[in-house]
């Protein structure tokens, strides 16, 4: 596993010396700044800010505005992880060093998780701003970040898998966008369907997931789902990287 | 030692390497020759674990490289064709990274030694993406040497080098005779005559010769032309 750490370090240093990192982080903060401002305006003009519903719960998954940027930012962050190495040819030097496929994938996945946390860390400032103008339920904030971390574990694993499967970065990005978009839309079936189908869609719903966490409710069913998808996607990534040798 | 037995690799219905067998003894320097598309790179990629063979056996220093790929790779230094590098890293950072991946002890010392051996010490702080082809080749060689492996596999190691660099490279490889097992693929016949103890020639995935440069009365160039041109083999394709 020491080699996974070596892969993780290289991935992160490569990301943070690239202009991509700063374009992504700046665009992310501009987008979320606007979203937070709109939500704060909405709640200040409409007297609905009671109980668990407030600008912060809206920001942390209470509205579709939370998910729209993720459909773009997750593919952009994960597309280069393995597909970038294929395109530049460095996968050959990497995979002919004495490293296992599992170490490479775990190192890349770990780097993806750190990138995900780097996206979210600056948003703590919104909670601080709210605390300066009213009371903040810090328990709900903790639960929100907890939920976001697990959602990231799920999203980054899907992005990583697409990066292993795709021959180029752009194809990896498109595949991740479509996969996460379809999963998001299936979740909306919760409001459309009935019976068992509704139950299944509710279980898959990332919207329901974040609505629950943003109100301070840590629902372990969502955690089990996130971790199951993450483990499955990381395992498939290792398998796909091994299968490449025979392909 | 490198031992290859009945090595075959297909891509779909196309056979890229067909039942190839050879050995490279410890301390021997062997040239691997063939026209473009003959299967040289595919063979070397199987030896280094990048590709799995469809069938056949590979032994690297006595280790079965098909079933114990990582242990076999620990015994290898490989310089891939075209030398793919992380263009955003500096030379010494890259070698540190590669040394760490290969679990090299005394990493700082190993980086310095490999930079000196490959003749890139003067470029240690330069960014890989801004290096000339010749420097890139030498960084690839430094990477192959950093873990001081007993076996070196070099794919087109002198392409892009100027005549002085080619001469330095040949002297370096000659210095490995008796110390490291070297298999190098090349197009340059004079290179084989200058540094190799033996030459293996492949054509359309099949081994067609395994000889020492002085074995034949004809020049290596003539032998190569005879064995690898369509007219000489009577192959109508």
Give the tokens for residue B167.
């001469």
Q: Which residues contact B109 (CB under 8 A, 6 or more apart)?
A: none
Task: Locate the domains of chain A by residue range.
Answer: 2-246
User: Given a cut of 90, is residue A82 above it in pLDDT?
Assistant: yes
Tell me what pLDDT residue A47 has.
64
Residue B210 β-bridge partners: B200
Compare all CA atoms of chain B with the CA of A99 and give the residue at the minimum distance: B70
Q: Which of A14, A18, A98 sits opposite B74 (nearest CB)?
A: A98
Q: Please give the helix or strand (H or E) that residue A146 lies within, else none.
A: helix A138-165
For residue B228, give how far its alpha carbon lies from the nearest alpha carbon of chain A (Å).
28
In angstroms, what CA-CA distances link B196 with A190, B40, B153, B155, B217?
Answer: 71, 16, 13, 14, 17
For residue B100, give how far its alpha carbon lies from the nearest alpha carbon of chain A (Å).
7
Nearest Cα residue to A127 out of A113, A151, A145: A145
A92 part of contact set with chain B, CB < 8 Å? yes
CA gap B108, A135 in Å, rounded: 54
Interchain contact, B84 vs A89, CB within 8 Å: yes
CA gap A213, A206 in Å, rounded: 11
Instruction: State the DSSP code for A63.
Output: S
Tell me what pLDDT residue B232 has.
47
Chain A residues with beta carbon closer than 8 angstroms to that of B100: 3, 6
A18 part of contact set with chain B, CB < 8 Å? yes
Compare all CA atoms of chain B with the CA of A246 and give the residue at the minimum distance: B52
Dihedral sign (CA A223, A226, A230, A232): positive
CA gap A48, A42 in Å, rounded: 9
Enter the pTM of the model.
Answer: 0.93
Whole-number average pLDDT of chain A: 91
Contact A130, A123 (CB under 8 A): no
User: Given a cut of 60, is residue A50 above it in pLDDT?
Assistant: no
SS3 content of chain A, % helix, strand, coil (to 5): 85, 0, 15
Interchain contact, A93 vs B85, CB within 8 Å: yes
CB atoms within 10 A of CB A125: 12
Tell me the mean pLDDT in the region A143-171. 96
For residue A24, give how far its alpha carbon lies from the nearest alpha carbon of chain B (Å).
18
Q: Which of B78, B97, B103 sits opposite A96 (nearest CB)?
A: B78
Instruction: Band the pLDDT of B236: cuts 50, 70, 90.
Output: very low
CA gap B155, B42 in Å, rounded: 10
Nearest Cα residue to A15 out of A148, A145, A119: A119
Instruction: Band the pLDDT of B237: cuts 50, 70, 90.
Output: very low
Interchain contact, A245 vs B85, CB within 8 Å: no
Compare all CA atoms of chain A with the CA of B48 and give the residue at the minimum distance: A96
CA gap B180, B158 in Å, rounded: 18
A196 part of contact set with chain B, CB < 8 Å? no
Query: pLDDT for B19-64, tens place per residue?
Result: 999 999 999 999 999 988 899 999 999 999 999 999 999 999 999 9
Going by their DSSP bridges, the two strands B76-79 and B151-155 should be labelled as parallel
Instruction: State the DSSP code for A212.
Output: H
For residue B78, give how far its alpha carbon lies from the nearest alpha carbon of chain A (Å).
7
Tell me what pLDDT residue B219 has.
77
User: Given a cut of 50, is residue A37 above it in pLDDT?
Assistant: yes
Dihedral through CA A50, CA A51, CA A53, CA A55, nearest 10? 60
User: Given a cut of 90, is residue A8 above it in pLDDT?
Assistant: yes
Tell me what pLDDT residue B230 has.
60
| Phi-psi category of residue A212: left, alpha or beta, with phi > 0 → left and psi -120 to 50 → alpha | alpha
Tell me the mean pLDDT in the region A57-75. 87
SS3 A166: coil
How many residues can be counted in chain A?
247
SS3 A52: coil
Residue B127 β-bridge partners: B90
CA gap B209, B199 in Å, rounded: 8
Give the tokens for residue A144.
């929100």
User: Given a cut of 70, is residue B90 above it in pLDDT?
Assistant: yes
Interchain contact, B70 vs A100, CB within 8 Å: yes
With a cut of 0.90, is the ipTM above it?
yes
Give the tokens for residue B148.
């001081």
Tell me what pLDDT residue B80 has.
96
Chain B residues with beta carbon closer than 8 angstroms to that of A9: 97
Instruction: Band the pLDDT of A52: cuts 50, 70, 90.
Output: low
Interchain contact, A100 vs B88, CB within 8 Å: no
Tell me what pLDDT residue A180 has.
95
Query: pLDDT for A108-140, tens place per residue?
Result: 999 999 999 999 999 999 989 888 888 888 998
- Name the strands in the sheet holding B198-203, side by side, starting at the edge strand that comes first in the sequence: B76-79, B151-155, B181-186, B29-33, B198-203, B206-211
Task: Tell the residue number behind the tokens 């998001």, with chain if given.
Answer: A184
Chain B residues with beta carbon closer than 8 angstroms to that of A17: 88
Tell me what pLDDT residue A48 has.
61
Residue in A4, A9, A92 to test binding to B, most B beta-carbons within 10 Å: A92
SS3 readout for chain B: CEEEEEEEEEECCEEEEEEEEEEECCCCEEEEECCCCCCHHHHHHHHCCCCCCCEEEEEECCEECCCCHHHHHCCEEEECCCCCCCCCCEHHHHHHHHHHHCCCCCHHHHHHHHHHHHCCHHHCCCEHHHCCHHHHHHHHHHHHHCCCCCEEEEECCCCCCCHHHHHHHHHHHHCCCCCCEEEEEECCHHHHHHHCCEEEEEECCEEEEEECCCCCCCCHHHHHHHHHCHHHHCCCC
Q: What angle do CA B132, B137, B142 make, to 5 degrees?
A: 120
Chain A residues with beta carbon closer than 8 angstroms to that of B85: 90, 93
A84-93, B203-212, B219-228, range with the lowest pLDDT: B219-228
Tell me what pLDDT residue B231 has.
47
How many A×B Cβ pairs under 8 Å? Answer: 68
A59-63, A171-175, A200-204, B69-73, range with the lowest pLDDT: A59-63
In angstroms, what CA-CA distances link B132 with A54, B97, B170, B184?
Answer: 58, 21, 20, 22
Interchain contact, B49 vs A95, CB within 8 Å: yes
For residue A103, give how far its alpha carbon lies from the nearest alpha carbon of chain B (Å).
10
Tell me what pLDDT residue A133 has.
84
Tell me what pLDDT residue A51 has.
57
């Amino acid at each position: 596993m020491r080699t996974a750490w070596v892969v993780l370090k290289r991935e992160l240093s490569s990301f943070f010396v690239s202009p991509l990192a700063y374009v992504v982080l700046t665009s992310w903060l501009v987008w979320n700044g606007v979203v937070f401002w709109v939500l704060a305006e909405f709640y200040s003009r409409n007297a609905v800010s009671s109980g668990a519903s407030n600008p912060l719960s809206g920001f942390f998954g209470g509205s579709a505005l939370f998910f729209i940027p993720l459909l773009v930012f997750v593919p952009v962050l994960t597309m280069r992880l393995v597909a970038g190495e294929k395109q530049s040819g460095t996968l050959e030097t990497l995979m002919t060093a004495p490293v296992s496929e599992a170490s490479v994938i775990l190192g890349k996945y770990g780097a993806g998780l750190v990138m995900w946390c780097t996206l979210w860390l600056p948003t703590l400032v919104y909670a601080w701003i709210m605390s300066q103008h009213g009371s903040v339920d810090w328990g709900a904030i903790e639960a929100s970040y907890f939920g976001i971390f697990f959602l990231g574990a799920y999203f980054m694993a899907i992005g990583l898998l697409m990066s292993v499967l795709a021959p180029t970065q752009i194809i990896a990005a498109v595949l991740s966008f479509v996969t996460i978009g379809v999963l998001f839309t299936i979740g909306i079936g919760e409001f459309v369907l009935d019976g068992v189908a509704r139950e299944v869609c509710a279980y898959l719903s990332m919207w329901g997931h974040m609505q629950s966490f943003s109100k301070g409710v840590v629902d372990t069913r969502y955690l089990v789902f996130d971790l199951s998808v993450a483990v499955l996607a990381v395992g498939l990534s290792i398998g796909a990287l091994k299968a490449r040798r025979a392909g | 030692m490198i031992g290859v037995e009945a090595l075959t690799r297909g891509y779909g219905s196309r056979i890229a390497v067909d039942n190839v067998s050879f050995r490279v003894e410890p301390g021997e320097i062997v040239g691997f020759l063939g026209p473009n598309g003959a299967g040289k790179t595919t063979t070397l990629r199987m030896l280094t674990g990048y590709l799995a063979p469809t069938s056949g056996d590979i032994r690297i220093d006595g280790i079965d490289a098909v079933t114990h790929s990582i242990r076999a790779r620990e015994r290898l230094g490989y310089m891939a064709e075209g030398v793919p590098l992380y263009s955003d890293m500096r030379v010494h950072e890259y070698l540190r990274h590669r040394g760490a991946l290969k679990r090299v002890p005394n990493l700082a010392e190993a980086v310095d030694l490999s930079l000196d051996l490959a003749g890139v010490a003067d470029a240690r702080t330069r960014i890989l993406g801004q290096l000339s082809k010749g420097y890139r080749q030498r960084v690839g060689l430094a990477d192959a040497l950093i873990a001081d492996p007993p076996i070196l596999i070099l794919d087109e190691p002198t392409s892009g080098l100027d005549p002085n660099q080619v001469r330095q490279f040949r002297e370096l490889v000659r210095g490995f005779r008796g110390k490291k097992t070297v298999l190098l693929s090349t197009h340059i016949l004079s290179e084989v005559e200058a540094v190799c103890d033996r030459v293996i020639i492949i054509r359309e995935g099949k081994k067609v010769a395994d000889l020492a440069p002085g074995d034949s009365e004809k020049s290596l160039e003539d032998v190569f032309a005879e064995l690898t041109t369509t007219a000489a083999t009577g192959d109508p394709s």
